[in-house]
Structure 1
Amino acid sequence: MSLRSPKGGLKRRLLLLMLVPLAVLLVISTPLDYRNAVQPTMAAFDLALLNNALALSSEIKTDSDALSVDLQSQADKILRTDSEDLVAWAVYDAKGELVRGDPGLRLRPDAGRMREVYDDLIDHRPVRVARVTLSTTLGPAHALVAETLNKRERAQRNILTALLAPSLLLVILTLLIVIYAVNTALKPLTELRAEIEQRAPRDLRPIPAAHQPDEVQPLVNSLNRLFDQQRQADAAQQAFFANAAHQLRTPVAGLMAQIELAQMQPGAIGEIERGQRLTDSLDQLKHLIDQILTLARADPQLGSSHVMAVVAVEPLLEQLASSFLDRALTRNIDLGFDLAPCSPMGVEWLIRELAANLIDNALRYTPPGGQVTVSCGTLGGTPWIRVEDSGPGIPAADRERVFERFWRGASSRAVDADGTGGSGLGMAIVREIADMHGAQLELGHAHTLPAGLIGPGTRVTISFPTPPRSAG
């Protein structure tokens, strides 16, 4: 991978930029250091071997017609003594014939120099040979001393180990120092990433930039500008929703008022039924407008930032009871509330909308004489809200599609129990708000309704996450 490539982590790129040159330096310097250390060591071994050859040459004697070597057995033993290597010696005359010594140690034909040290073989074993040529009355005499390479190889291994061990230790220490330095240098970026990852999707609070390093502050400032622009866009969008709600509701309310006045005029008896149908249609239009605006405000991709807090659900449902009681009495539906302490973390107006849509759906599709029960409580630390009705129920095949926007099942289309059709948005709003709060939504048939009521009923349960202890 190229070091200039934008792919890969910044930490990895910094480590490569620092460690690759260090590795190249190690690869280049180690052979040079090894050669510089080995050469004088091998020269010292050669000098010792050459001194032995000089000592041997001093024992060469010249008789009247032949050469001899005056080397006693004790001296021969001393010459051959070596704790690691095998030592051989030999003396040759001017004709190249062996005078005395080991016949395996042969004289090289090109022995022209007076002294030399060279590599050779004895019985196929590599040896180092020192040769000293001595001038005599019978011509040149050659003294040779050879030894195997054991102590030389051991010295080379020791030198290599002595060089590599500190170098590797230095590399490891350098690597640790570099990793520590890179981690320390990148710690502000790591903390910045962690802070952003822990934020909620709509948390647009500015990131504190005062204590950030100079290199990170431009990034933080850019993020804060982006957050500010998003907050302004959210505020403008919320203002649009508020204005749209007002502009849409005002003419609807005016039309409804005019129809009611027309129905109250003398001679308008024949128009009462038609006026009632118009009123119902306008009520349905108003309900649809309210649900569309609620869905838009609740959508995390469109709505503003929502600050979570502890919500007391019990009094909230008590307030909703008065809003739906007249409608339930008009349609002869037993609307009951079974409330227990329930305090999830959430947004109060969103939880109110969630409960209101559940109750509205239950009343809308429950026939006269039916029953709707609203309950809340806490089970094992988990807050929950539940709405049950005695309506036609939702078939198992439709229980997932019921959360789609503007979708209405066959049973809901067939039942216009309150005289108006639903918009198909109520359960979509419920699912959207539940997802925003991380709540689980269960949908099934009712279980606690008295026998004899029409329909299997529907039971919707919203289970909120257990709030943290500090929230209480």
Structure 2
Amino acid sequence: MLSRLSGSLRRRLALILLPSLLILLLVSALAQYLLAVRPIQRELDRALSDVAIALADRIGVNESGDVTFELSDEAAALLDADALDYNWFAAFNERFKPIAGEPNIPWPAVKLTRGEPYFFDSVVNDRPVRAVAVMTACGVLDCGVVMAATVRKRGRLIRAAQLSALLPVALAGCVAFGLVWFGLGSGLRPLVRLSRELERRSPRELSSIRVADAPDEVQPLVEAVNRLMQQLSEASFAQQKFLATAAHQLRTPLAGLQSRIELAQLETRDPDSRIRLGEIHESAVRSARLAVQLLSLARAEPGASTGDARVVLDLAKLATELVDEWVPRAIANRIDLGFELAAAPVEGSPLLLREMMVNLLHNALEYTPSGGRVTLRTGLYEGGGFFAVEDNGPGIAPELREKVLERFMRLPGTRGTGSGLGLAIVAEIAEGHQARFELLDAPGGQGLLARVSFVSCAGT
């Protein structure tokens, strides 16, 4: 169904309206033409018949009973005074044989009535003519006169009438077509605005569109879109609520499980039991980490409401708060963890921005081998604040860097206990803050540089 309705709505409406308008204009032009041409034809025919009737009065019968025709030289000169057309006449006797005038003018082969002009088209001396025949009485018999004139003047007047009829219609048609096309574009502009409004929105913006701003015909569409937005918002909220609740409910028992395993490790003296308890403890830590990441993912998803308002903060100060927690972990893994911090004011959620740093640090420490180096930097980059985590570990091949941003994606053969959510969470949070998240080669040529760049500094 939708495939049959695809294409430009403006073009579809134009294909419906413009042919009808074209037909209307053609009918109007034809009507104007007929109304202009017929009076011209009648007037020219009337003038021709007046001359023919006047000539018919010149026919008479002499004492011998022969038909005669008398025309003065002055009258004959008047017949030839037309500058555009040739005028001919012929007088016919009772046998309708020419007795005066142009002998090549034919008498019409139809029955005529005395005194009633009969108009017809013919050819005289290889020239098309308009002719009129008038039959008159010659005593008790009938005779007549035919007056003929070439059609040059008549054609010129008709062409002028055509031009006067068609030119205004053509101009009106062009203007009407332009107005229809412009009117269709203007009438469809609310739909264009609606499409741009929906296009500029991010997946996080599911608020309703103002129905009052739309025309009456578009309001049902806007209301349908608003209902869809509401359903998406409710579905997103339900999903986030489930993830947050599940992650929260898992964290407490997992923390208790870790404590009990650690206590059991301290109390047992069997080396094999210690190894098995260590493996169980590692699984419990990984599960607890996964629960924390799921909770972070729920906060970072479009439409999430974390209760953590956006504020102006310094990324350098936020990174300083991680030193006490992450330096001991780096030392335990024999990794040199450095902090190169410069002021980087941004606007965002402290909780989510901290989660971004934690995930990048965790990934770097997880995959960098012992004896390696990890550095967290903050500062200004291209007019905005940034933070980056650089390591000299194995890095990620350029063709796989888009792939690792997918949820639960871990590259085959990688070491560590990650769940494949860390980089996906960073990408989600960066998108929610209109920041750019990049995975690049480390400046030294070995390792990975993960950088999050914000559009502009806070307060600028």
Question: TM-score of the superposition, structure 2-length normalised?
Answer: 0.83
Deviations 1:25-78 (A, max 9, x none): 333344344334322321111110011112222333544444443333332221
CA positional deviation for 1:312: 3.9
Match for residue 100 of structure 1? 100
Deviations 1:125-158 (A, max 9, x none): 3210012223224943322211112222223223
Q: What SS does the corresponding residue of 1:142 show, helix, strand or coil?
A: strand
Matching of residue 304 in structure 1 with residue 293 in structure 2: no
Equivalent-residue separation in structure 2 for 1:222 and 1:402 (angstroms): 37
CA positional deviation for 1:305: 7.1
* Contact 1:402 1:409 (8 Å CA) reproduced: no
Tell me the C-alpha RMSD between the 2 structures: 3.5
Uncovered stretches (5+) of structure 2, i.e. residues with no partner: none
| Residue in structure 1 matching 2:243, options 238, 241, 244 | 241
CA positional deviation for 1:13: 5.1
Closer, same or farther in 2 for the Cα pair 1:116/1:393, shift >3 Å? closer
Matching of residue 441 in structure 1 with residue 430 in structure 2: no
Equivalent-residue separation in structure 1 for 2:156 and 2:275 (angstroms): 115
* Contact 2:389 2:451 (8 Å CA) reproduced: no
CA positional deviation for 1:15: 4.9
* Contact 1:202 1:305 (8 Å CA) reproduced: no
Equivalent-residue separation in structure 1 for 2:368 and 2:402 (angstroms): 20
Match for residue 366 of structure 1? 368
Match for residue 411 of structure 2? 408
Equivalent-residue separation in structure 2 for 1:427 and 1:112 (angstroms): 106
* Contact 1:339 1:377 (8 Å CA) reproduced: yes
Equivalent-residue separation in structure 2 for 1:310 and 1:59 (angstroms): 115
Matches within 5 A, 1:78-227: 78-110=78-110, 112-114=112-114, 115-137=117-139, 139-175=141-177, 178=180, 182=184, 185-227=187-229
Closer, same or farther in 2 for the Cα pair 1:246/1:30, shift >3 Å? same
Matching of residue 423 in structure 1 with residue 419 in structure 2: yes
Equivalent-residue separation in structure 1 for 2:271 and 2:84 (angstroms): 131
Equivalent-residue separation in structure 2 for 1:308 and 1:16 (angstroms): 52
CA positional deviation for 1:252: 1.4
Closer, same or farther in 2 for the Cα pair 1:311/1:106, shift >3 Å? farther
Matches within 5 A, 1:247-326: 247-265=249-267, 271-295=273-297, 297-300=299-302, 304=304, 312-326=314-328
Q: What SS does the corresponding residue of 2:322 show, helix, strand or coil?
A: helix
Closer, same or farther in 2 for the Cα pair 1:32/1:259, shift >3 Å? same
Uncovered stretches (5+) of structure 1, i.e. residues with no partner: 414-419, 449-455
Deviations 1:377-416 (A, max 9, x none): 3333254432221223345665555445332343x33xxx
| Residue in structure 1 matching 2:448, options 451, 455, 459 | 459
* Contact 1:87 1:148 (8 Å CA) reproduced: yes
* Contact 2:392 2:448 (8 Å CA) reproduced: no
* Contact 1:57 1:132 (8 Å CA) reproduced: yes
Report the AA paired with residue 253 of structure 2.
P
Deviations 1:203-224 (A, max 9, x none): 1122233454444444434433
Report the AA paired with residue 447 of structure 1.
P
Q: Which moved more, 1:247-256 or 1:89-98?
A: 89-98
Match for residue 453 of structure 1? none
Closer, same or farther in 2 for the Cα pair 1:465/1:173, shift >3 Å? farther
Equivalent-residue separation in structure 2 for 1:161 and 1:44 (angstroms): 19
Q: What SS does the corresponding residue of 1:246 show, helix, strand or coil?
A: helix
Q: Which moved more, 1:101-110 or 1:124-133?
A: 101-110
Q: What SS does the corresponding residue of 2:158 show, helix, strand or coil?
A: helix
Q: What SS does the corresponding residue of 1:195 show, helix, strand or coil?
A: helix
Identity %: 35
Q: How many residues align?
A: 450
Matching of residue 70 in structure 1 with residue 70 in structure 2: yes
Matches within 5 A, 1:17-96: 18-65=17-64, 66-96=66-96
Equivalent-residue separation in structure 2 for 1:347 and 1:82 (angstroms): 98
Closer, same or farther in 2 for the Cα pair 1:153/1:368, shift >3 Å? same
Q: What SS does the corresponding residue of 2:110 show, helix, strand or coil?
A: coil
Closer, same or farther in 2 for the Cα pair 1:343/1:147, shift >3 Å? farther
Closer, same or farther in 2 for the Cα pair 1:324/1:171, shift >3 Å? same
Closer, same or farther in 2 for the Cα pair 1:464/1:93, shift >3 Å? farther
Deviations 1:191-244 (A, max 9, x none): 333322222222112223345444444443443333333323322222211211
Equivalent-residue separation in structure 2 for 1:346 and 1:324 (angstroms): 23
Q: What SS does the corresponding residue of 2:321 show, helix, strand or coil?
A: helix
Equivalent-residue separation in structure 2 for 1:157 and 1:134 (angstroms): 35
Closer, same or farther in 2 for the Cα pair 1:108/1:310, shift >3 Å? farther
